[in-house]
Structure 1
Amino acid sequence: MRTYDNPVIAGFHPDPSVCRVGDDYYLVCSSFEYVPGVPIFHSRDLVHWRQIGNVLDRPSQLDLPPEAPASGGIYAPTIRHHDGRFYLITTNVSSRGNFVVTAERPEGPWSDPIWLDIPGVDPDLAWDDDGSCWCVSSGNQVTRIDPGEGTVLEGPYPIWSGTGGKYPEAPHLYQVDGWWYLLMSEGGTERGHAVSIARARSPRGPFEPGPVNPFLTHRGTNRPIQSTGHADLVQAADGTWWMVLLGTRPRGYTPEFQVLGRETFLVPVRWEDGWPVAGPVEERHPAPAAWHPLPEPPSRDDFHGDTPAPYWISPRSRPDGSWSLDGGRLTLHATGPTLDEPGHTFIGRRQQHHDCRVTTRLDPGAGRAGLSVRAGLSVRLDETHHYHLEVHEGTARVIARIGPLRQCVAEHPVPPGPITLGIDIRSRRGQGRGPDVIAFSAAGLPLAELDGRYLSTEVATGFTGRVIGMYVTKGSASFDWFDYEPR
Structure 2
Amino acid sequence: MKYQNPVISGFHPDPSICKVGEDFYLVTSTFEYFPSVPIFHSKDLVNWKQIGHCLTRDSQLPLHESKSSMGIFAPTIRYNNGKFYMITTNLTIGKNFIVWAENPEGPWSEPIWLDWPGIDPSLLFDEDGKVYLTGTQDIFRGEASGIYQAVINVETGEILTERRLIWQGTGGAHPEGPHLYKIKDHYYLMIAEGGTEYGHMVTMARSKQPFGPFESHPNNPFLTHRSSDSPIQATGHADLVQYIDGSWWTVFLGIRPAPIPFSGKHHHLGRETYLAPVDWNEEGWPVIGAQVELEMDGRTLKLEEKDQLSSKDDFNDANLAFSWNFLRNPSEECWSLTDRPGYLTLYGASTSLNDLGSQAFVGRRQQHFDCKVSTLLEFSPTKDGEEAGLTVFMNERFHYEIALGIRDGVKKVFVRRRIGSLWKVESEHVYTEEAIILNVHADAKNYTFSYQRQDGEAVILGSGECSLLSTEVAGGFTGVYFGLYAAGIRPKSSAPAYFDWFEYSN
- Is the structural similarity TM-score above 0.5? yes
1:302 corresponds to which residue? 314
2:324 corresponds to which residue? 312
2:240 corresponds to which residue? 233
Whole-Å separation in 2 of the counterparts to 1:99 and 1:90: 6
Whole-Å separation in 1 of the counterparts to 2:164 and 2:381: 64
1:6 corresponds to which residue? 5
Could you report, residue by residue, the CA deviation over 1:34-57 in whole angstroms, capped at 9, with x for unpaired residues? 000001100000000001011101
Give how far 1:416 is off: 1.6
AA aligned to 2:404 is V
Alignment of 1:335 with 2:333, yes or no, is: no
Match of 1:75 among 61, 73, 76: 73
Alignment of 1:283 with 2:294, yes or no, is: yes
**DSSP 3-state at the match of 2:162:** strand
Q: Are the counterparts in 1 of residues 384 and 405 from structure 2 also a CA contact under 8 Å? A: no
Change (3 A) 1:80 1:410: same
Whole-Å separation in 2 of the counterparts to 1:449 and 1:371: 24
After superposing the two structures, state which structure 1 stretch, 95-104 or 9-18, moved more. 95-104
Alignment of 1:413 with 2:418, yes or no, is: no
- The correspondence of residues 12-23 of structure 1 with structure 2, limited to 5 A, is 12-23=11-22
5+ residue gaps, structure 1: 428-435
Q: Are the counterparts in 1 of residues 348 and 386 from structure 2 also a CA contact under 8 Å? A: no
Alignment of 1:206 with 2:204, yes or no, is: no
Give how far 1:321 is off: 1.7
After superposing the two structures, state which structure 1 stretch, 222-231 or 410-419, moved more. 410-419
After superposing the two structures, state which structure 1 stretch, 171-180 or 275-284, moved more. 275-284
Give how far 1:202 is off: 1.3
AA aligned to 1:148 is E
2:442 corresponds to which residue? 425
Q: Are the counterparts in 2 of residues 53 and 310 from structure 1 also a CA contact under 8 Å? A: yes
Match of 1:170 among 155, 169, 177: 177
**DSSP 3-state at the match of 2:161:** strand
Match of 2:498 among 464, 478, 482: 478
- The correspondence of residues 82-161 of structure 1 with structure 2, limited to 5 A, is 82-139=80-137, 140-161=147-168
Whole-Å separation in 2 of the counterparts to 1:204 and 1:337: 49
**DSSP 3-state at the match of 1:479:** strand
2:377 corresponds to which residue? 362
**DSSP 3-state at the match of 1:303:** coil
Whole-Å separation in 1 of the counterparts to 2:385 and 2:268: 34
Could you report, residue by residue, the CA deviation over 1:278-329 in whole angstroms, capped at 9, with x for unpaired residues? 1521111111422222421110000011111111011111122211113211
Identical residues among aligned pairs (%): 47
Q: Are the counterparts in 2 of residues 336 and 345 from structure 1 also a CA contact under 8 Å? A: no
2:144 corresponds to which residue? none
Match of 2:404 among 391, 400, 421: 391
Change (3 A) 1:257 1:371: closer
Whole-Å separation in 2 of the counterparts to 1:352 and 1:328: 26
Give how far 1:130 is off: 1.4
1:245 corresponds to which residue? 252
- The correspondence of residues 433-448 of structure 1 with structure 2, limited to 5 A, is 436-443=445-452, 444-448=458-462
1:455 corresponds to which residue? 469
The structure carrying a bigger strand percent of its residues is 1
Q: Are the counterparts in 2 of residues 244 and 264 from structure 1 also a CA contact under 8 Å? A: yes
**DSSP 3-state at the match of 2:75:** strand
Whole-Å separation in 1 of the counterparts to 2:465 and 2:385: 31
Whole-Å separation in 1 of the counterparts to 2:504 and 2:311: 5
AA aligned to 2:25 is Y
Change (3 A) 1:305 1:257: same
AA aligned to 2:204 is I
**DSSP 3-state at the match of 1:75:** coil
Whole-Å separation in 1 of the counterparts to 2:352 and 2:186: 55
Alignment of 1:382 with 2:395, yes or no, is: yes
**DSSP 3-state at the match of 1:285:** strand
- The correspondence of residues 47-62 of structure 1 with structure 2, limited to 5 A, is 47-62=46-61
Whole-Å separation in 2 of the counterparts to 1:365 and 1:115: 46
Length-normalised TM-score, structure 1: 0.95
5+ residue gaps, structure 2: 138-146, 453-457
AA aligned to 2:18 is C
1:432 corresponds to which residue? none
Whole-Å separation in 2 of the counterparts to 1:482 and 1:151: 46
Give how far 1:254 is off: 4.6
